[in-house]
Amino acid sequence: MSETTERSMHFIEQIIDEDLKSGKHQTIVTRFPPEPNGYLHIGHAKSICLNFGLAKQFGGKTNLRFDDTNPVKEDVSYVNSILADVKWLGFEWDSEPLYTSDYFETLYGFAVKLIKKGLAYVDDQSAEVIATQKGTPTEPGVNSPYRDRSIEENLELFSQMREGKFAEGSRILRAKIDMGHSNMHMRDPFLYRIKFATHHRTGDAWCIYPMYDFAHGQSDSLEEITHSLCTLEFEVHRPLYNWLIEHLEIYPSRQIEFARLNLNYTIMSKRKLLKLVEDNVVDGWDDPRMPTISGLRRRGYTPESIVNFCDRVGIAKRNNVIDVSLLEFSVREHLNKIAPRVMGVLHPVKLVINNYPEGKTEMLPTINNPEDESMGSREIPFGREIWIEESDFMKESPGKKYFRLAPGTTVRLKSAYIVTCTGFEENEKGEVTTVFCDYFENSKSGSDVSGIKSKGVIHWVECENAVDGEVRLYDRLFNDEAPDGQKDKDFMEFLNPDSLQVLTHCKLEPSLANATVGQGFQFQRLGYFSVDSKLSTPGKPVFNRTVTLKDGWKKG
């Protein structure tokens, strides 16, 4: 997180700063409470950066607590992925990871306490029937016929719910608040439901599970969370959060809401992301087109770029939509500083230098990163036959602004020589198969005395030592700015058919043969690329394009 001296404090920082100065708190404790029912996405990254960043900024601590109250959708694999993602982003939680399931017995006791106070009751109606009694925002709801059960009967029924004596969905524990309350969440909300499902940590020890609104605030309180940070959709839940804390007479954690991260051209719903995975639209949760942290990592994003992006977005009180190009700018900016420059040809066409000695190979020096001199230089092989990009040759007469190869034109080969095109060959389809050039021996980069001026510079890879590689070009998964914002259309209708292009005949400079998983490079003139963690094998790297050199997205 940026130093507060570089910008004014956002509203949550102001609240914390005042709480510490006034002595309300001696230190702060925040928490990040993910549900282990899917992989974390870029929206969660904002919450991670906020909670862990505030604790670091103000000398406090952050708990990582899994909200594992729905065994039907939860899995250990999700827990492990979340732990890995938080660590990868560079954050450390206080002590060991915590789980709401750690507090199941205590939460059960809290529910019993409410029953004994006459503030909770067991309802025999189904959730569907109860929903019809809720009323509307302008009309009060209808009291349940079981609302006035005695405390003794409610205690007995709740105990029997725990013992598994009732069918799933046949009983539910509700808070007794006010069916005419202006806030719909205060109209006798659900506290516990019956679920016969094996929990990933507690096994079959429980068949009743607390609802989120009941477990959330009480877990915060048990951990003495000073500032419980939630996204804006939980603002209407805050009265219930506070009501439960008040009537249970427990530590009063303060809930504060902030605007969630919304990106255009992006789906943030875990339910919808899961559908993409289950329907095999993508290659798992970590598909490089997914907005998941693991997907971004596999694509080549750096943790620094994501943290910087979250800092740029800032913390606001109102929802807005951030342009995904800002995320792309953040990784482009960071990779520009740290990524070695290499050469790879994605759509190869052979270029033969007529007057270069046959059988000769020379090693030419080239700088690794002009942004960082400490990265030094390396040598690359050069010979009579090289690969160039198909798009770097035009057989027809080019326009005045064309500075690449065409018959009679001159270009510099990056870190090598100046060449002039003398001709080309094509097949029966009219496709160029070979380009012919002459080179100027005294035009070598670094010692050029030819006096020849060349406006164009193109990249290349020497044929004999080239590494065959696969390159995967990723684009946005959706071609609509708000794929889940159309009421009359399903978000799947906006899938971008060109979101993945697989190139299997790429030619790469020999240094890339031993590139390691996660290593990022700038392929000169083409973009930033990273070694894929799933598809690469030793000596046969597969590269994912992380981002183009410039924002090339054309809005419709």
Catalytic residues: 35, 260, 270
CA distances 478 to 264, 297, 491, Å, are 9, 19, 9
Chain Cα centroid distance, residue 181:
39
Distance CA 119, CA 130 (A): 18
CA distances 3 to 9, 11, 47, 256, Å, are 10, 15, 18, 22
Q: Beta partners for 422?
A: none
> Is residue 411 a contact partner of residue 419, using CB atoms and an 8 Å limit?
yes
CA distances 176 to 107, 119, 146, 186, 245, Å, are 17, 5, 11, 9, 15
Distance CA 377, CA 386 (A): 21
> Is 234 exposed, middle or buried (CB count within 10 Å of its CB: 0-12, 13-18, 19+)?
buried
Q: Which amino acid is at 387?
A: W
Residue closest to 291 by CA, chosen among 432, 409, 301: 301
Contacts of 111 (CB under 8 A, 6+ apart): 120, 158, 173, 191, 192, 210, 214
Distance CA 379, CA 386 (A): 16
Distance CA 494, CA 187 (A): 38
Report strand pairing: 461-462 vs 190-194: unpaired
Strand ranges across the sheet with 348-353: 456-458, 410-413, 418-426, 432-439, 348-353, 385-389, 461-462
Q: Which amino acid is at 367?
A: I
CA distances 218 to 111, 201, 222, Å, are 11, 20, 6
Q: How many Cβ atoms from other residues are within 10 Å of residue 507's Cβ?
A: 24
What is residue 397's DSSP assignment? Answer: P
Distance CA 240, CA 490 (A): 33
Q: How many Cβ atoms from other residues are within 10 Å of residue 396's Cβ?
A: 7
> Is residue 473 a contact partner of residue 494, using CB atoms and an 8 Å limit?
no
Three-class SS of 85-104: HHHHCCCCCCCCCEEHHHHH
